[in-house]
Structure 1
Amino acid sequence: MENFSGSFWGSFLGFCFALVLFFFQEVFRDKRKEKNIRKNLERELVFNVKLLEEFEKEIESAINASNANNEINVYLKLSLFRWFFLNKFYEEGMVGKYLDDDDILNIVDLMPRYTIQSENYVNNISVQRNSNTIEHSEFQRKFSYEKGEIHKNKKTLQKVLQKIKI
């Protein structure tokens, strides 16, 4: 009976230790996964902010060229935006942990602006201005609006970047 009791308690304690070890391993794995996603999202957001800064410069250049009645040689590659890790951040349930409702709404609002369709729309405005299909004032209005949206979106991404930074 003594051997059975000793074997039982040894097995029981070994099993309990294995459960505790498994629990800590899972917690460590989840923390590491979250840290990696945040690190990659940070890199993605930095890339997107730099793109927006370039877009702001190009739009300003286009507006200046239009003011001088010069040809507008601007092509905004809006579809270069990357959302892979933002989507992963969402899929893993981390959005609510790091971002508030306003941040989430602002991101949802800006995502459709950086597609191939938006790229074609914005760049078509330059083509129309070069061919005198639209007036200077209409071009100014549309590109000023785009410039304002890009600036607003850059601020949104910078704010999110500060919240998820490791």
Structure 2
Amino acid sequence: MHLAVVDGADTVFLEKLTGRCSTRITSRAGGRLPAHCTATGKALLAHRTPPGLAAVLGLGLRRRTPRTIVVPRLLLQDLVRTRARGYAVNWEEAEVGVSAVAAPSTGRGSARAAPVAAVSVTGATRGLRPDHVAPVVCAAARALSHELARP
């Protein structure tokens, strides 16, 4: 599980929790990856203003794997789907064999507030079922939003 924020065009992982039988992945607390190819990054980019998103796209979409989305129009379509369903999916876009589901968390009590962080479940592609994982990830993101809104 990851807790991450977006800094410019990068996802910055604030925390990473792993289990004993977890799939080995390259992310680490304090590490960075391009936001456009991580589930946490896409969960947050989906809520960016048009000028903020244009700034990210203007930096270019670097390919990390054969599945990384590098065409701006395709990324924008993916972000529209992400915003509509409430969670993002990374299907081997940052690392071959690794996929993730992420949902955004707000810092204020309103679900309409801009997200400040995202949480994700990441694992081996062969065992990850986004339709099963997404409800749990979304519930965790809502719980984090609730905690961040507390005085």
TM-score tier after normalising by the smaller chain length: under 0.3
Length-normalised TM-score, structure 1:
0.24
Q: Which has the higher helix share?
A: 1
The higher relative CO (CA closer than 8 Å, separation ≥ 6) is in 1
Length-normalised TM-score, structure 2:
0.25
Q: Which has the higher strand share?
A: 2
